Structure 1
Amino acid sequence: MMLAKKISSFNILCFLVLSCCLQCLALTHHHWVVQEASYTRLCHTKRILTVNGKFPGPTLMVHKGETIYVRVHNKGKYNITLHWHGVKQPRYPWSDGPEYITQCPIQPGETFTQKVIFSTEEGTLWWHAHSDWSRATVHGAIIIYPKLGPAGYPFPKPDAEVPIIFGEWWKKDVMKLLKEALRTGGDPNVSDAITINGQPETFRLAVDQGKSYLLRFVNAAMSLSLFVSIANHNLTVVGVDGSYTKPITNDYIVISPGQSLDALLLANQNPNQLYYMAARAYSTGVGVNFDNTTATAIVQYNGNYSATPFSPPILPYLPYYNDTNAAFRFLGRLRSLANKDHPIHVPVKVTTHMVSTVAVNTIPCKINDTCEGPNGTRLAASMNNISFVNPSMDILQAYYRHINGVYKRDFPNFPPYLFDFTADYLPLSLEIPSRGTRVKVVKYNSTVELVLQGTNLISGLDHPMHLHGYSFFIVGYGFGNFNRSNDPSSYNLIDPPLRNTVIVPISGWVTIRFTANNPGVWFMHCHIERHMTWGMDTVFIVKNGKRTKARLLPPPPDMPPC
């Protein structure tokens, strides 16, 4: 099952961004205009949705602990929302962004001022649209520098820093592709190309011999996890998803949709040669279509060297597209920094245990409809056999104002059906999920362990699962069915990686833990866009604590109406 096809025309937003440094009380002003722009890609000139006429959009730069204000004016013809991916927004989900979860969308011609509160995040995150499939072009990097002062980075300061944003490109208008996929119930078309900083092959990274570069990687792709490598050069990973890690050096990285990663590149190779940076899919689903193109960028040394455009760049090694062992050999090495200056607090005593399946499903086709899913069905997706349905008003407003009938508080702690989740052949009767808006309510400061179990219904696949409002510790993962008696014995409770998006391995499971100390309404979903659209989602409602500073803050006065 794969995603849509290329971008075409639409109008959209005009943003005015006001940055406020709470430490120094100085206001700075950023003007962001989100609008149509023309770009030429793969011999096609298209009108695409952009911010400030840029694709990718502007890079937002803040220091740890700062707060910014973003005034969003929608000048387009479609509804829009913006999400600050990985920003925890303590006690303030009102600006988190997912439509019909924490807000109703900003309608054409309307304005909404978003307050974005940075707290413990450091490193690289990103922002993107969180409505329909607009994030295909409405996205950009967020750089969170250390607090002002002598501490700085916990690694040697690089000579330069470069955002590297991966995306997908479609020749057609993604909104039309979404509409067509929803009409037919089939699998959307795969993208036509993978991009690096908006280009499939023309981005150049100029480096100086002997200098180091902090590459701030973001995977903004709609459906593809990626293997990434630079020919003849190693990458030293020093951060993931807005948190620092123990340095690990490797000749390739793996990054899923929604994830960010900081890596140091040392320019220590022959300067007379050009080198390719390359990215291609890591895709494991049997019979699942995917974009199998390779995006490339040129790494070129500055100076009077003999390298010319006629000297072919060297291609790097990349694992085969379905090499799960290579992917998790890399991912399994990631560890939190976990030192005196960057302590972590892994929940040890768990008060809320949960297990949730993540699955691609089918639902029967309506009478007189022609559906293009397997065996004439409509494709769907689920968590714990529930295919999430967006309500007609946002859940946060309903929760805050005690409005009944918008959602049910009965998302199950465990799968409703127990079977061999990773078997090669499963009964068709297991493919059909229930549908509804069902959420999980947890007490403030409870410690949550959530096991995400992959299934082979329809087709097994790796699923990048993202939780809003929190970073979580990845304490364990494995293949096959999770075994509650044996698998916890291998958990890492000392220095597990701290992330906001985790890859659930094909035919496997992953366990995350977090302390529910951020009251509010927080979305959890697969970051493969079509899976989120099909219903691989749920919502955590974290109740207020007793203290004033443990309670949800009130909404701003200009929340968009439904």
Structure 2
Amino acid sequence: MAKCNIFSWRSLFLFCFVGFVSRPAEAAVKKYQFDVQVKNVSRLCHAKPIVTVNGMFPGPTIYAREGDRVVVNVTNFAQYNMSIHWHGIKQFRNGWADGPAYITQCPIKTGHSYTYDFNITGQRGTLWWHAHISWLRATVYGAIVIMPKEGTPFPFPQPYREANIILGEWWNNDVEEIVKQANKLGLPPTMSDAHTINGKPGPLFPCSEKYTFAMEVEQGKTYLLRIINAALNDELFFAIAGHNMTVVEIDALYTKPFTTTALLIAPGQTTNVLIQATQVPGRYFMAARPFMDAPLSIDNKTATAILQYKNIPNTVLPILPQLPAPNDTAFALGYGAKLRSLNSPQFPANVPINVDHHLFYTIGLGINPCPTCQNGTQFAASLNNITFVMPQVGLLQAHYFNLKGVFTTDFPDRPPMPFNYTGAPLTANLGTTLGTRLSKIAFNSTVELVLQDTNLLTVESHPFHLHGFNFFVVGTGVGNFDPTKDPAKFNLVDPPERNTIGVPTGGWSAIRFRADNPGVWFMHCHLEFHTSLGLKMAFVVENGKGPDQSVLPPPKDLPPC
């Protein structure tokens, strides 16, 4: 293993990445060194210091191949505690490398190091990495590109070239300070000041003409775009003026290809599309702006980048695409309905047919009393009326060493009080309680989980991410889930498989997965504001009886609490 011990006095964290030759023998050795430091970055009309990796915002891309082993050494020189999550990597038996702070590890303290060591097994496609503590992922993120095994082609036309398109958000002020101030007041943090494409807002924002990502294409060529939504709090529409997109992959899983003029991507999700450079040579805007079909305020500004044909001068004005309206629910639902697993002999959709655990979780937002807040109240969020309390010890460590008093395993399988979930707005929290309560599941059992949005305070779309597993989205709908009628409509043949699902506003989504990965696995809303309010929980998947069905021992450098 290569060692990384070089850092400058300005370094915040030191990453060192090494890809290893592993079983299969054709996997190549890949070596990366990541140096994360504070850097003044200019966006909009002024510069501010942000956390960057190798001085880049977004951070560098990790390139690996299916079957590789990845080792990342992180040394923290920041004033903040830090942990890194490798979003979508399954981490078989190896939650120690998953990264969410106080779930699978205690955070890396200032001046200390931790090595993330994991294998990429049975996965290929686009994923991403990001900070997984507080709101630090606002700037600490980057792409993970996993190529198929050597000699294995894509199940779609080979592109001429490819590019990463990472959608994000930008705050003019320090995000951590904004969150602290909001917590003191008992109010939501201020909205972002801009959206970004590859860290740049584009020329539609003041003082941002030079902060625009541009991608050059050649006439007649086909390109693969790996699109990632790294925004903290916004689902986003994305489109390219004059060009259709063919969706071929979501969350590093191949789909049945379909063509669309725009796509919808929730925070945490990835989408790969093919585009053909067959239009009149010119300059065309790529654009992203939020989708919000609930009565809530959002940063509705449009970020832009440029698709530019070769030999076209920069003086040619770009053309803007026609994005769906910000509240276009019909487009959102219609786009989601087109997503289907490829379900080929080589890439089958192994949907669990027989279900061992039927779970029903209601998503609730509310307002609780807060004597220490200047406002006298504070926002809270819950699943099945449980507002999750983060422990002071890593839950995986507590589970592995059988530490008592850290958590309980009595998370309710369904809400304690059934009600008309999406009816008239309800202002009560229906007895919300605080607790670090987990759900215990036997190894290799099958799970069906229905996530139901509610009108407690307001309805809203919620992108939920499950660590440690992919799952199949077997059904979705608007209104209240009907356990008698709706299961008959489930797609059990080729439903989309992914790791993050957008629960529709005032609706529900049903997912199925097999609990074949022992450990403690986080599930949470990927809207950072909602996660901070307690909209999260975790599953404890018990060890199996086989020799390769137990949690691996923890590494020697696991950070202490």
Shorter-chain TM-score category? Answer: over 0.9
Take 1:361 and 1:15, find their aligned partners in 2: how far apart are those partners? 39
Contact 1:75 1:108 in 2 (8 A): yes
Match for residue 145 of structure 1? 147
Take 2:31 and 2:307, find their aligned partners in 1: how far apart are those partners? 34
Residue 521 of structure 2 is aligned to residue 513 of structure 1: no
1:275 to 1:26, Cα distance in 2 relative to 1, 3 A? closer
Take 2:431 and 2:53, find their aligned partners in 1: how far apart are those partners? 40
Deviates more, 1:86-95 or 1:376-385: 376-385
Take 2:122 and 2:434, find their aligned partners in 1: how far apart are those partners? 36
Take 1:182 and 1:12, find their aligned partners in 2: how far apart are those partners? 26
Match for residue 67 of structure 1? 69
Name the SS of the counterpart of 1:557 in structure 2: coil
Residue 273 of structure 2 is aligned to residue 263 of structure 1: yes
* Cα deviations by residue, 1:449-504 (Å, 9 ceiling, x for unpaired): 00000011112110000000000000000010000000001100000000000000
| Aligned pair partner of 1:244 in 231, 248, 254 | 254
The Cα of 1:312 is off from its aligned counterpart by 2.3
Contact 2:428 2:456 in 1 (8 A): no
Match for residue 393 of structure 1? 393
Contact 1:18 1:71 in 2 (8 A): no
Query: Which runs of 5 or more structure 2 residues have no equivalent in the other structure?
Result: 1-9, 203-211
Contact 2:366 2:428 in 1 (8 A): no
Name the SS of the counterpart of 1:330 in structure 2: helix
Residues 526-545 of structure 1: matches in 2 within 5 Å? Answer: 526-545=525-544
Take 2:55 and 2:14, find their aligned partners in 1: how far apart are those partners? 10
Take 2:423 and 2:69, find their aligned partners in 1: how far apart are those partners? 48
Name the SS of the counterpart of 1:19 in structure 2: strand
* Cα deviations by residue, 1:506-561 (Å, 9 ceiling, x for unpaired): 10000000000000110000000010011000000100010011111111100000
The Cα of 1:75 is off from its aligned counterpart by 1.3
Residues 392-471 of structure 1: matches in 2 within 5 Å? Answer: 392-426=392-426, 428-430=427-429, 433-471=432-470
Match for residue 341 of structure 1? 346
Take 2:179 and 2:252, find their aligned partners in 1: how far apart are those partners? 31
| Paired AA for residue 299 in structure 2 | D
Contact 2:30 2:64 in 1 (8 A): no
The Cα of 1:369 is off from its aligned counterpart by 4.0
Contact 1:88 1:117 in 2 (8 A): no
| Aligned pair partner of 2:221 in 188, 192, 211 | 211
CA RMSD of aligned residues (A): 1.3
Match for residue 3 of structure 1? none
Query: Which runs of 5 or more structure 1 residues have no equivalent in the other structure?
Result: 1-9
Contact 1:361 1:431 in 2 (8 A): no
| Paired AA for residue 135 in structure 2 | W
| Paired AA for residue 478 in structure 1 | G
Take 1:64 and 1:211, find their aligned partners in 2: how far apart are those partners? 27
| Paired AA for residue 323 in structure 1 | D
| Paired AA for residue 390 in structure 1 | M
Name the SS of the counterpart of 2:99 in structure 1: coil
Take 1:431 and 1:363, find their aligned partners in 2: how far apart are those partners? 11
The Cα of 1:310 is off from its aligned counterpart by 3.9
Match for residue 300 of structure 1? 308
Contact 2:186 2:373 in 1 (8 A): no
| Aligned pair partner of 2:290 in 281, 284, 294 | 281
Match for residue 166 of structure 1? 167
The Cα of 1:50 is off from its aligned counterpart by 0.8
The Cα of 1:431 is off from its aligned counterpart by 5.5
Contact 1:276 1:296 in 2 (8 A): yes
The Cα of 1:432 is off from its aligned counterpart by 5.3
| Aligned pair partner of 1:105 in 104, 107, 116 | 107
Residue 320 of structure 2 is aligned to residue 315 of structure 1: yes
The Cα of 1:130 is off from its aligned counterpart by 0.1
The Cα of 1:129 is off from its aligned counterpart by 0.3
Take 2:373 and 2:478, find their aligned partners in 1: how far apart are those partners? 39
Deviates more, 1:133-142 or 1:428-437: 428-437
| Aligned pair partner of 1:290 in 289, 293, 298 | 298
| Paired AA for residue 248 in structure 1 | F
TM-score calculated relative to the size of structure 2: 0.95
The Cα of 1:28 is off from its aligned counterpart by 3.5
* Cα deviations by residue, 1:403-446 (Å, 9 ceiling, x for unpaired): 010001110000111111101322x3335521110000000010
Name the SS of the counterpart of 1:223 in structure 2: coil
Take 1:424 and 1:232, find their aligned partners in 2: how far apart are those partners? 42
TM-score calculated relative to the size of structure 1: 0.95
1:483 to 1:11, Cα distance in 2 relative to 1, 3 A? farther
| Paired AA for residue 19 in structure 1 | G
Kindly tell me the number of residue pairs found equivalent between the two proteins. Answer: 541
Match for residue 95 of structure 1? 97
Name the SS of the counterpart of 1:550 in structure 2: coil
The Cα of 1:173 is off from its aligned counterpart by 0.2
* Cα deviations by residue, 1:349-377 (Å, 9 ceiling, x for unpaired): 000000001121221122x6422xxxx42
Contact 2:221 2:276 in 1 (8 A): yes
| Aligned pair partner of 1:121 in 95, 120, 123 | 123
